[in-house]
Amino acid sequence: MKIRIELDENLNEEEVIIRCSHLDEKVIELQTAISEAAVRAKGLGLYKGSTEYYMPIEKILFFETENNAVSAHTAEDMFETHYKLYELEELLPNHFIRISKSSIVNINHIYAINRNLTAASAIEFVHSHKQIYVSRSYYRSLREKLEEKRMR
């Protein structure tokens, strides 16, 4: 693999181009890593009233939809975002995972899961009173992701 950096003073924003003979797992991993680094570097534009905040995504516990609005929750506050959940799934690093049709969670902040076999299970977070529920259909993928994180 060759890596080349070209400087262009006329560019308004950075651009990364990946040239390859075929699309394989390594190329996809590289694209994902670059995308995640770009999102982490610039933060995420979040809103509260008429004020826009640039919140580091690592501070976000979870995203949820309610009444066609997507909210981002930190340990002590709540903001709105203009992204849809499916857009956030594409943008966010892989430690954010969908846990229901209306929620995405940051697994790095999960403290406990109160398992309920007949309904959704409650997720508790480190240093926060907030809770969110993982639906039964998404519970298995969440457990797998948490196990994968623990093995690293």
Q: Let me know: does 54 contact 44? Beta carbons within 8 Å.
A: yes
Q: What is the C-alpha separation between 132 and 116, in angstroms, rounded? A: 13
Residue pLDDT tens, the chain, 152 long = 787 888 888 877 778 888 899 999 888 888 878 877 776 666 788 999 999 988 888 899 999 999 889 999 999 999 999 989 998 988 888 889 999 999 999 999 999 999 887 788 999 999 999 999 999 999 999 999 998 888 76
What's the confidence (pLDDT) of residue 142? 93
- Any idea which residue has 């892989």 for tokens? 94
DSSP code of residue 59: G
What's the confidence (pLDDT) of residue 41? 64
What's the confidence (pLDDT) of residue 123? 95
**At 13, phi and psi to the nearest 5?**
-145, 160
Number of alpha carbons in the 13 Å side-chain half-sphere of residue 24: 4
DSSP code of residue 146: H
Q: What is the C-alpha separation between 6 and 28, in angstroms, rounded? A: 22
Domain 43-151 -> CATH class: mainly beta
Domain boundaries defined on the chain: 43-151
Q: Let me know: does 100 contact 134? Beta carbons within 8 Å.
A: yes
What's the confidence (pLDDT) of residue 114? 93
Q: Let me know: does 96 contact 105? Beta carbons within 8 Å.
A: yes
